[in-house]
């Protein structure tokens, strides 16, 4: 078992108790700027769902879409299942997704998960592979980069160096890995990126 998976498995039982009480409001606000992408999508892939916190907000914005939520950590998915009995949950690694190429999804969303991807270039290539041409990618964090990186630095174990890059660096990486119309919003309050599969 990877040390990253073990790390999140160990934290799954207390994950929700350690989140702020107004998290649902924050998640809805985080999705609001992307309402058009969500409403237009027929199939959405969420990577790193954890305990499934984003699923209700995604379902509100995209009620007709098929939503598939992936996570590496089995224990996280057990909590997601308890929270969302009807959700489509898949245990998988973003670097090796068990989906066919090209037509499966209209939109991929990485919410608070991108910094943990061991090989970002390979992960972005794999997300491209499963999106239809013209499909969208959202990388979303409801905290600013410095706070995210400080939280990870302060954590012991395998996430200590899982940092979000500066916005211009992420924009260059996306452009270099086959994404167009790249927009990165790297502010003290939040960090979001939107790109389209070229
Ligand atoms: C910081 S948690 C965020 C969970 C949830 N999105 C939230 O905001 O509460 C990151 C999640 O991403 C998952 N994850 C990390 N690397 C992954 C990978 N390579 N493939 C799939 N999931 C991954 C972890 O298991 C964990 O559940």
- Is the pLDDT assigned to residue 16 strictly greater than 60? yes
Residue whose Cα lies nearest atom 12 of ligand 1: it is 48
Alpha-carbon distance 23 to 15, whole Å? 12
Residue whose Cα lies nearest atom 4 of ligand 1: it is 50
Number of neighbouring beta carbons within 10 Å of residue 169? 12
Over the stretch 38-86, which tens digit does the pLDDT of each residue have? 999 999 999 999 999 999 999 999 999 999 999 999 999 999 999 999 9
Angle in degrees, 0-180, between the axes of helices 74-83 and 3-15, rounded to the nearest 10: 30
Ligand 1 binding pocket (C-beta < 6 A) is 4, 8, 47-50, 53, 70-73, 76, 93-95, 111-113, 116-117
pLDDT of residue 2: 85
Instruction: Give the residue-averaged pLDDT of 15-21.
Output: 95
Kindly report the average pLDDT of the chain as a whole number. 96
- Is the pLDDT assigned to residue 1 strictly greater than 70? no
Alpha-carbon distance 57 to 72, whole Å? 21
* Confidence grade of residue 123 (pLDDT, cut at 50, 70, 90): very high
- Is the pLDDT assigned to residue 113 strictly greater than 80? yes
Whether pTM > 0.85 for this model: the answer is: yes
Q: Which atom of ligand 1 is nearest to the CA of 8?
A: 25
pLDDT of residue 25: 96
pLDDT of residue 156: 78
> What homologous superfamily is domain 3-15+24-197 in, according to CATH?
Vaccinia Virus protein VP39 (3.40.50.150)
Q: Sketch the domain layout of the chain as residue ranges.
A: 3-15+24-197
Residue 184 Cα to ligand 1 middle (Å): 20
Tell how strand 191-197 and strand 179-186 pair up.
Answer: antiparallel
């Amino acid at each position: 078992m990877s040390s990253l998976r073990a790390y999140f498995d160990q934290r799954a039982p207390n994950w929700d108790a350690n989140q702020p009480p107004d998290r649902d409001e924050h998640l809805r606000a985080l999705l609001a700027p992307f309402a058009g992408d969500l409403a237009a999508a027929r199939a959405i892939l969420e990577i790193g769902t954890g305990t499934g916190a984003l699923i209700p907000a995604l379902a509100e914005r995209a009620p007709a879409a098929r939503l598939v939520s992936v996570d590496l950590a089995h224990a996280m998915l057990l909590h997601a299942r308890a929270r969302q009995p009807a959700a489509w949950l898949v245990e998988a690694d973003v670097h090796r997704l068990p989906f066919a190429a090209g037509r499966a999804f209209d939109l991929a969303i990485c919410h608070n998960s991108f910094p943990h991807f061991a090989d970002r270039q390979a992960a972005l290539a794999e997300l491209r592979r499963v999106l239809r041409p013209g499909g969208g990618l959202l990388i979303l964090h409801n905290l600013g980069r410095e706070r995210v990186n400080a939280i990870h630095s302060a954590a012991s174990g395998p996430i200590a160096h899982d940092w979000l890059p500066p916005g211009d660096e992420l924009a260059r990486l996306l452009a270099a890995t086959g994404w167009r119309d790249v927009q990165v919003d790297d502010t003290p309050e939040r960090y979001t990126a939107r790109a389209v599969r070229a």
